[in-house]
Amino acid sequence: MTQDEYKLFTGADASAYSAEDWSRLVAVAESRLASFLCLPNGFPTAPADDLKMLLANFIAATIENAAGAEKIESKHVRNFTINFKTTDAANAFASIASQYQDIIDAYSNCGKAYAVEGDAHYCCGRI
């Protein structure tokens, strides 16, 4: 994934990263996304555009989480206010999962069984 493709799919600029740092970020995101999708051969070398969009947003969530993007939320009831911070990485990835569930379903191998020499092997420990 190039920085231009990242900008196309997310609208965010990644030019602050050197070519080496960008390659490292993409490699980590591809590895994590391949694991998330239970892809036995890793991330495809020539992914389709919808998978690139998912990867770009996966990278964006990783960058946002690494930057420690804290959101301050408030709850106000009568004359009492509570402020709290949310920085949970799981929330960022859960948001991606809910927004791109159709793409995830199309590429995920999780839960698909493979029979090998009479033994059943399951991807990602799930049936």
Count of residues in the chain = 127
Counting as low any pLDDT under 50, the low residues of the chain are 69, 115-120, 127
Q: Report pLDDT for 5.
A: 96
Q: For residue 74, give the H/E element and its range.
A: strand 71-77
Q: Report pLDDT for 112.
A: 65
Residue 4: count of CB within 10 angstroms of its CB: 10
The DSSP call for residue 2 is: -
- How far apart CA 23 and CA 66 sit, in angstroms, is 16
Q: Report pLDDT for 87.
A: 53
Q: 């948001």: which residue's tokens?
A: 95
Q: Report pLDDT for 40.
A: 87
pTM: predicted TM-score of the whole model, two decimal places: 0.70
Q: How far is CA 40 from CA 5, 34, 79, 85, 113, in A?
A: 25, 8, 55, 37, 12
- How far apart CA 22 and CA 17 sit, in angstroms, is 6
